[in-house]
Structure 1
Amino acid sequence: MLRGLYDWTLSLAARKSAEWWLAFIAFVESSVFLVPADVLYLPMALSRPDRAYRYALVATVASVLGGIAGWFLGHYAYEALAKPVLEFYGKYEQFEALRLSSGIGFIILMLVTSGLAHLPPIKVVTILSGVIGVNLLLFVVLAIVARGARFFFLAWLLRRYGEPIREFIEKRLGTIAAAGAAALILLYLLVRYAH
Structure 2
Amino acid sequence: MFKKLYLWTLSLAESRHAPFALGLVAFAESSFFPIPPDTILVPMSIARPNRALLYALICTIGSVTGGLLGYAIGALLFDTVGKWLISVYGYGDRVEQMRLLYAHWGWAVILIKGLTPIPFKIVTITSGLLAYSLPLFILLSIVTRAARFFFVAALLHRFGGTIHVLLEKYFGVFLAGLAAITVLGFWIVGHML
Same fold judged by TM-score > 0.5? yes
1:1-54 deviation per Cα after TM superposition (whole angstroms, max 9, x unaligned): xxxxxx9xx685354311111000000100101111111100001000111011
Percent of matched pairs sharing the same residue: 35
| TM-score (normalised: structure 1) | 0.74
Q: Return the match for 2:128 from 109, 130, 146.
A: 130
Choose from 132, 143, 146 the match for 1:145: 143
Counterpart of 1:121, as a letter, is: P
Partner of 2:62, secondary structure, is: helix
Partner of 1:103 in structure 2? 102
Report the Cα offset of residue 80 of structure 1.
1.9
State how far apart, in whole Å, the 1-side matches of 2:62 and 2:27 are: 5
CA distance in 2, matches of 1:130, 1:60: 19
Alpha-carbon contact 1:13-1:44 (below 8 Å) kept: yes
Code of the residue aligned with 2:73 in structure 1: it is L
> What corresponds to 1:57 in structure 2?
57
* RMSD (CA atoms): 3.0
Structure number with higher relative contact order (C-alpha < 8 Å, ≥ 6 residues apart): 2
In the TM superposition, structure 1's runs of 4+ consecutive aligned residues that sit over 6 Å from their partners are none
User: One-letter code of the match for 1:80?
Assistant: T
Q: CA deviation at 1:101?
A: 3.8
* TM-score, normalised via structure 2 length: 0.75
**Structure 1, unpaired ranges of 5+:** 1-6, 183-188, 190-195
CA spacing shift, 1:98–1:34, aligned 2, 3 Å = farther
Per-residue deviation at 1:139?
0.3
